[in-house]
Amino acid sequence: MSMPVSRSRPALRYRTSEALLGAHLERLQQRHGMALWMITRIRDNAMWLLQVNDQHYGLKQGHCIEWERSYCIRMVERGAPCIVADTRENPVYQSAPINSNLQIGAYVGLPLLDSRDQLFGTLCALDPEAQPATLQDRLGELEHDAALISYTLEHALLDAQQQRLTTFIEHPDRCDDTGLPGAKGWQDIFQQEQDNCRNLGVTSAVMHLQAPHDADSLVIADSLAALLRDQDSVAHLGDNHFGILLTDTDDEKAASVAHRIRDALNAKRMLVRLQQEPLTPF
């Protein structure tokens, strides 16, 4: 039996992991100060900014910072302190090239780990002015925050994987000939993955396949299904034009898949055109 809930105001709820993480950064800023708080993902020698609460530097979601120039690489790879209330007192951070771009008087940085305990990114805070020395006493609390953020990101990635599969299988727009999602389904699949790239730092690849007009579209669909992974998606856009989404895939891996697709269809006497493009975080 469900019990009614009587409250003077509605219970606080977050409908998405992005909203939860954004609110978490706002609370961190309120509790600890610092002009900039951000959640980053490390990919391709860059720190992609996934969530940002910035009151000074003008950084936004989608910006990236070169990993080698950052403070965070010194925290992760050189064991430099996670909290520095006055960066002028730390020669490791004073020598960081990013100082030529940003005025940094105080720094907070903690690693964010994935489900295999590998580096995902960082929880990072900067301020142009030095902060009270008591900032360094908050390491334990901030380590707890970083662990919560890591957990949230891990489950957001799992949710994204499930949502991809659900959209591909259950989207109401279906091609009558192949049973695959149609043009509207492809549009929604593409937009969903763009959101994953922006919010989670995922890097995927998109391919467009054009087969001869007289080719059997069902044979093409079956061939693609045999070559693609469960987390990938394919849609029939009409007239033997197929859209293919390869999730969490770089250019090299996508090129390898493209070769396999061409070889498989060429063996069935179908010469196809394939165009490949990355779907990067921003």
**Exposed e or buried b per residue across 6-28, where buried means at least 16 C-beta atoms within 10 angstroms of its C-beta:** eeeeeeeeeeebbebbbebbeeb
Nearest to 113 by CA among 75, 83, 154, 62: 154
What pLDDT does 13 receive? 75
Angstrom CA distances, 265 to 18, 202, 219, 233, 269, stand at 41, 29, 9, 18, 6
Strand partners, 46: 43, 66
| Of 248, 245, 208, 250, the residue nearest 228 (C-alpha) | 245
- Residue range(s) occupied by CATH 3.30.450.40 in the chain: 17-159
Query: Furthest-apart CA pair in the chain: how many Å?
Result: 73
The dihedrals phi and psi of 70, each to the nearest 5 degrees, come to -85, 165
Q: DSSP letter at 11? A: P
Give the pLDDT score at 100: 96
Distance from C-alpha of 113 to C-alpha of 62, rounded to nearest angstrom: 20
Question: Residues in the chain with pLDDT < 50?
Answer: none
Amino acid at 137: D
Specify the fold of 17-159: Beta-Lactamase (3.30.450)
Residue type, 140: G
**Integer Cα distance of 17 and 96 in angstroms:** 32
Question: So what's the pLDDT on residue 279?
Answer: 82
- The whole-number pLDDT of residue 245 equals 97
Q: How far is the CA of 227 from the CAs of 48, 93, 111, 234, 264, in angstroms?
A: 31, 48, 36, 11, 9
d(CA 235, CA 246): 12
The 10s digit of each residue's pLDDT in 112-162 is: 999 899 999 999 999 999 999 999 999 999 999 999 999 999 999 999 999
- pTM metric for this prediction: 0.88
User: CA-to-CA distance for 126 and 108, rounded, in angstroms?
Assistant: 7
The CATH 3.30.70.270 domain(s) of the chain lie at: 171-279
Using only C-alpha atoms, what is the Rg of the chain?
Answer: 23
Residue 192: how many CA atoms within 13 Å on its side-chain side? Answer: 23
CB count in 10 Å sphere of residue 113 = 18
105, 129 contact by CB (below 8 A): yes
CATH architecture of 171-279: 2-Layer Sandwich (3.30)
Q: What is the pLDDT of residue 5?
A: 55
pLDDT of residue 225: 93
